[in-house]
Amino acid sequence: MSLGTSARKPIHTRSITMNSYLREDALWEVEAHLVDVKAYDFPTSRGGMHLAGDPVHDMTIVLLVTAEGLITDVRAKYDSAPYDAACMAIEDAYRGLVGLHLLRQFRAAVRERFGTIDGCTHMSELVVLLPTVFVQSLSAQRRERAQRAGKKPFQLDGCHALALTSPVVKEYYPEWYVRPEDGGKRKARQ
């Protein structure tokens, strides 16, 4: 998608792929992979040439997580980094995520533990995206539990499209719909 008719020349591409897997032992693996490539050749700090299309960054992190969101194991790996071993030396530090909870102050804890010189900017940027992947993975299970318990689905009132006063909620979640003229207040069930 372009914002005009002016010709564009590609310079940089960052690709992020995120996956979650439910294991047979009922634990989750939540994985994120980041690749940065340049569309041009450039000289390296060691006198070589980095070729267009070759990854500048290529890194993966995998969290082992309980169904409740507790991180029990972590593996971070770099396949490409601009300063090679110096960048890759931080891999084991990300084991410091063990014991954190993906759904409770996770992003703040990542900033605190891995901010500035205590982490890798790019790996930390990747890590803070993982709670959303985990929530998306659990959505069907959470929806079923909430429905059985008569609780409001967690996603309602979480964005403009799912505001309790929205047409989407009126159509898909009519029992939770609130008329705008009621001031956004839901009436008690009869």
DSSP category for residue 101: B
- pLDDT tens string for the chain (190 positions)? 888 889 999 999 999 999 999 999 999 999 999 999 999 999 988 889 999 999 999 999 999 999 999 999 999 999 999 999 999 999 999 999 999 999 999 999 999 999 999 999 999 999 999 999 999 998 777 777 767 777 888 788 989 999 999 999 999 899 999 998 876 666 544 3
For residue 97, the model assigns a pLDDT of 98
For residue 151, the model assigns a pLDDT of 82
C-alpha distances in Å from residue 130, one per residue of 29, 125, 127: 11, 10, 6
Domain-wise residue ranges, the chain: 12-136, 152-190
Q: What is the DSSP string of 117-162?
A: GGS-HHHHHHHTTHHHHHHHHHHHHHHHHHHHHTPPPTTTTSSGGG
For residue 106, the model assigns a pLDDT of 98
- Phi/psi of residue 70, each to 5°? -80, 130
Question: What is the model's pTM?
Answer: 0.81
